Structure 1
Amino acid sequence: MVAGRHVLLIIGGGIAAYKALETIRRLRERGCAVTPVMTRAAGELVTPLSVSALAGRRVFSDLFDLTDEAEMGHIELSRAADLVVVAPCTADLMAKMAGGHADDLASTLLMATDKRVLIAPAMNVRMWEHAATRRNLETLRGDGVLVVGPNDGDMACGEFGPGRMAEPLEIVEAVARAFGQGPLAGRRVLVTSGPTHEPIDPVRYIANRSSGAQGTALGRALAELGAEVVFVTGPADVPPPPGVEVVRVRTAAEMREAVHAALPVEAAVFAAAVADWRVAEASASKIKKTGELPVLRMAENPDILAEIAGLGADRPGLVVGFAAETDEVEAHAAAKRARKGCDWILANDVSEGTGIMGGTENEVLFITEGGTERWPRMAKETVARRLAARIAEALQEG
C-alpha cells in the first residue's frame, strides 16, 4: 500500500512521541522510507538514537545546521518526501501551522513544503476541546491538511476523553489513504449538505438553522477514505471540505437538479436540511409594509431523498438519509426510512436546548432494516468517521 513511498515524519513533543517508534517500524516493514525530524521537546521523550536506528536514517532537529543550510537543506528536506506526517501533533504545533509560524526546523518544514500534510493530534482532553484548538483544527482542514484521530482513551495525566493519539497502524492506514489507497478508492459518492434558502422576495427567504457542519465532516471523512466525493451544498456556515468536487446551490430545486446531474454514484448521503416548502410565487421586488400582512402561498419542495431511493437502474447501491426530529425521534425516523425507501437513516433530536442543529456535536440513532443503534453524543467529525467506515464496509460487501 505504501511501498516505494517516502514519508517525512515530524515527531512533536507530546508523551505520545513513543508511538512514533512503532509508526516508523510499521511504515518501513511495508516498504516505505521514513526521514525523521524531531522537535527539541520530542528529544526529551524519545532518544534520537532510537528513532534513527528504526528509520535507518539520521534524525534532523536543528534549523541552523550550517552544513545543510549552506544549500538550503530545509527546503530540500521539506520537498523530497511524498507526504509529511506530524505524529504526535501537539496543540503548539497545530497553532504554529494554523498561524503560519516558522521558528524551528519542524515548523519551517511545514511552511516550506509543497506536499500534502497529515497530522495525528495528541494532547490533554481539555486542550483538545479548547476553543483555540478547535479554531486551529478548522483552519488546518480548510487548508487541506489531513487528520487522523485523536481517539478517546486514558491520558497520561489521568483524565479520559478525546485527545489520545491514533495508534501506529491507524496512522499507517491514514498514510495509505493519503496516497489514494483507502477502502473507498475509486468509489464515487454523493453528499448533500447545509440548508436551502427559499426566496420570499429579493431580500428575504425561508431557511433553517443547519450549519452544514455534519455534512462537511462527512464529505471530508469519505474523501480521506479515498472516495471521489461530489459535495452538493446549500449556503452553509462552514466551508466545504478540501479535495472534493463542490457544487454550490441555493434552493431545493437547484439541489435536486445538482443531485440528478451527479448520478451515477455508488452511494448517496443526504445530510442537507432541505426546506420542505417554498413560496409558490416569490416576489420579484421587495415586499413593502402597507399596514396589511402579506399572504404567502406555499408549495411543497421536491423530496430529493425519496426520488433517488426510488430510482431504478440509476439508484445508488446505498442511500442514506438524515432525520431531524423534536419528539418520538426513533418512531418518526424509522417511519421516514420506510416511507422514503432509503437503506439507512441517521436520526437526531434537535429540540431546543440540545445544541445539535448548528452545534459541533451530534447524538444519533443509526436506523437500518435490521434495527436501531444508539450512538453516544460525540463530535460531528467522529460521527462522520464512524458513518464513513460503515459506508466503506457496506460497499466492499457489495
Structure 2
Amino acid sequence: MLSHKDNERITQVGAGTPLGALFRSYWLPALLSEELKPGGAPVPVKLLGERLVAFRNSGGKVGLVGEFCPHRGTSLALGRNDDCGLTCIYHGWAFDTDGSCTNMPSEPDYSKFKDTIKQKSYPIHEAGGLVWTYMGPAEEQPPFPNLIWTSLPDSHRMVAKVYQECNYLQIWENEIDYMHAAFAHLALQEQDMKEGALSTELGINPSHPLVTSRNPLLTVEPTTYGFRNMFVGQSGEEDQFILEAPILMPSFAYTPRVKEEDHLFHAYVPIDDHTTWSYDIHFTLDRPLNHDTQKERRGLWVDENYRKLYNKSNNYQQDREMMKAGNFSGIVGISNQDHAVTESMGPIVDRSREHLGTSDVGVIALRRMILRSLKRMEQGEKPLGLDPDIPMDKIYSEGVIAPKGVPWKEACPLDPAFAPVKSEKAKSGQDSTVAETI
C-alpha cells in the first residue's frame, strides 16, 4: 500500500505539482492527426489540467495554443480558422500556430500593440497518426522519441483514442498486471482466433498460457527507459512461455505478445487528475494489419467525441447470462473489460487501503519507478527515457517459448542498448544501479 502523500505525488498532474512537471519533460500525444482538417474547426484539448486548442491552418501546419484569447478571455475553440491564423470571434484578434498575434483589427493601423502580445503555444510533432506536443521548458526540450511504430505505413498501423473516467495511473497499473488476464479477459469457451489476435470480443481463450499457467514467475528488469515486465509460465510439458512488456516513462507500455500476435502500444495521457485519454496503437512490422480483427477484439464503440457507448452509465452492458457461459466478466471486448475494472475504482483509487499480494510485483515496481523518477527530477537529474542515445525504435515486445530450465534472462535477453549503467558502488555490490527505479 502507499501513504496518502505518496498516492497524491503519483496521481496529481496539474501545473505546479511534481508529477505535472515530470510529465512535462516528455513528448505526449495531444490528439489524433485526423481530428484536424486544413482550415477546419479548432479542437479543444485539455492536457495535464491545462485548457488548450489545436488547429491546422490552411497550409496544413498545426498549432496548439492556449484556449482563451488574451484580450478578454473568450474561448478560441469558437474561433475562425482564417488565413491570418486562429481568429477570436469577439474582437478579431488572430494568432499564428506559434502563438504570435497576426491581426488586431480593434486597434489603429499605426498601433504596435499586437507585436507585444504572445499567446501561449507548445511545439508540435506529427508522427504515427498522432499530434504530439512538449509542454516543458524550451531549453530542456528532448528530441522526439521515434518509436518503432511511428514510421510505419498506415496499412501496418491502427490508432485509436478513447476517453476514460479515472486517473491515468489506474489504467497504467492495469496494463502492468498480468494476472488479471486470467479473469477479467477470460473466455469460458474455446474460440476461433483470427490471424494476429490474442482474443476475440469474448476474451482470451481458456487454453492460452496466460490462463493455464499456474504459479508463474512474475518479475521485472530495470532499463534506461523504465523496465521490462516479465511473465514466465508453462507451455506444454517441455516448454516455458516467456512474455515481456517494455514499460516506458512517462505513461507508455507495450502489451506482451508472442510471434503470431500483432503488436500493441498504449499511451495513457492525463487530461486532469480524474480523466485520461487512452491511445491504443495496433501495429505489425512485416505485413498489413487486419484492422477489422483488432477493432473486434477491442470491443470499444465510441461516439464523435471518443466517449464509450458502453460505459459506467449503462454498466458497460454487462450481460449476466453471457457471464455464465460466454466470458468471465459478462462484458464484451477486451478493452471494454479493462475500462470497466479501472473506472469502477473511482476517479482516484485510495491506495492506502489496498492489500497487495505476490502477483502485484509489476504494480509495485511501477509505483516505485514513478516515485524515484520524481526524486531524480527534484535532484536535478534527467528523467528516465530522455537520453538521446536510447534507440527508441528498437523497443517492442517479443515473447518467446523456450525449453524448461533455461533462465528467462538467457532465453529473452535484454538488448545491451537498454541496460542501465552501474555506479562504482553497484559494481562492487554495495549499491543499486544508477538507473534502477524499482
TM-score normalised according to structure 2 size: 0.20
Give the structure with the larger helix fraction: 1
TM-score normalised according to structure 1 size: 0.21
Q: Which has the higher contact order (CA 8 A, sep 6+)?
A: 2
